[in-house]
């Protein structure tokens, strides 16, 4: 049950017709993994903590760099040089001390990612490289874990929600990583900091919708937005019946580590 403090804290959720006490209890009992405490993971973690998610698993092996501060809003100036997961934990606890936190500082790869994700109800991909994005997709499909994909570049962002067994997966659409240097990085092409906030907040919203069975998820479609023109559009996609991952049974899916190409990107659709 919810305590008196929780009833007051989450009162705006409780009066929502499609959330209420039952929905808030589902949020409270949920466990969400956020891979990457950067531009996307920062706002996602803050809003999920504020919403009352019971446990957050936060994964990142990097330290806070001064160049992160323009978009990774969970990190402050005094955090430069700290591990991102330690910086993020402090801010999450400041927002909501009731949230349990598991921290992962090792690099995720094909040998350990299943153990890192298996205990969570929903996964948010906040990474900035193709190798991680494909690995997260393949692991989530193998585990049957729903997850939110996201990517940003310059003034644009895109996201889709993958429900293994029910929707197209990442490899249905983007079968393999692009060749090295084929796609610019944020470091070389830039990104408007607030775009990361827009995208990460959408990812957090998708997670909360999934947990409470509310609204329509971004499955079988990619939501793309151009903040320069402030235009949003959905691109419908289909499950590939010959997909090298989601067309197989779980035991047949072999995880592999793709060549690492750092990029936050806008793929063609």
Q: What is the pLDDT of residues 123-147, one digit of tens each?
A: 999 999 999 999 999 999 999 999 9
| CATH number 3.40.50.720 given to 17-252 | yes
Quick one: pLDDT at residue 186? 60
Q: For residue 210, what are its two tokens?
A: 């999934």
Residues 6+ apart with CB under 8 A from 15: none
Q: What is the pTM of this model?
A: 0.94
Cβ atoms of 130 and 39 within 8 Å: the answer is: no
Alpha helices (runs of H) in the chain, residue ranges in sequence order: 4-9, 11-14, 20-28, 41-51, 84-95, 113-117, 130-143, 170-173, 186-189, 193-212
pLDDT digits (tens, 9 = 90+) for 21-49: 999 999 999 999 999 999 999 999 999 99
Query: String of b and e for 225-242 (b: at least 16 CB within 10 Å)?
Result: bbbeeeeeeeeebebbee
Cβ atoms of 152 and 40 within 8 Å: the answer is: yes
Residues 6+ apart with CB under 8 A from 252: none
Quick one: pLDDT at residue 178? 79
Cβ atoms of 222 and 235 within 8 Å: the answer is: yes
Q: What's the rounded mean pLDDT across residues 245-249?
A: 96
pLDDT digits (tens, 9 = 90+) for 169-218: 999 999 888 777 666 666 657 899 999 999 999 999 999 999 999 999 99
Residues 6+ apart with CB under 8 A from 134: 170, 171, 174, 176, 177, 258
103 in helix, strand or coil?
A: strand
**Domain spans of the chain?**
17-252
Query: Taking Cα atoms as reference points, which of 216, 212, 217, 209 lies closest to residue 22?
Result: 212
pLDDT digits (tens, 9 = 90+) for 155-168: 999 999 999 999 99
Quick one: pLDDT at residue 183? 65
Q: Indicate the helix (H) or strand (E) that contains 148.
A: strand 147-153
Quick one: pLDDT at residue 185? 60
Strand pairing partners for 148? Answer: 124, 161
């Amino acid at each position: 049950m919810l305590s008196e403090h929780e009833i007051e804290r989450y009162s705006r959720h409780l009066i929502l017709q499609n959330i209420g006490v039952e929905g808030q209890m589902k949020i409270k009992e949920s466990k969400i993994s956020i891979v990457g405490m950067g531009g996307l993971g920062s706002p996602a973690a803050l809003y999920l903590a504020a919403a009352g998610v019971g446990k957050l698993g936060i994964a990142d092996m990097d330290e806070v760099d001064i160049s992160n501060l323009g978009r990774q809003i969970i990190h402050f100036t005094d955090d430069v040089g700290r591990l991102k997961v330690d910086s993020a934990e402090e801010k999450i606890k400041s927002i909501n001390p009731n949230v349990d936190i598991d921290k992962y500082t090792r690099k995720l790869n094909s040998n350990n990612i299943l153990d890192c994700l298996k205990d969570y109800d929903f996964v948010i991909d906040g990474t900035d490289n193709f190798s991680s994005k494909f690995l997260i997709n393949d692991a989530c499909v193998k585990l049957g874990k729903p997850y939110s994909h996201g990517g940003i570049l310059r003034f644009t962002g895109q996201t889709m929600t993958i429900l293994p067994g029910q929707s197209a997966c990442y490899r249905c659409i983007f079968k393999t990583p692009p060749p090295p240097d084929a796609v610019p990085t944020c470091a070389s092409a830039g990104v408007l900091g607030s775009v990361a906030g827009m995208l990460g907040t959408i990812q957090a919203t998708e997670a909360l919708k999934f947990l409470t069975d509310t609204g329509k998820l971004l499955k079988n479609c990619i939501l793309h937005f151009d903040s320069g023109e402030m235009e949003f559009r959905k691109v419908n996609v289909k499950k590939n019946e010959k997909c090298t991952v989601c067309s197989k049974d779980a035991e047949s899916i072999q995880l592999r580590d793709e060549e690492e190409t750092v990029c936050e990107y806008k793929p063609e659709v």
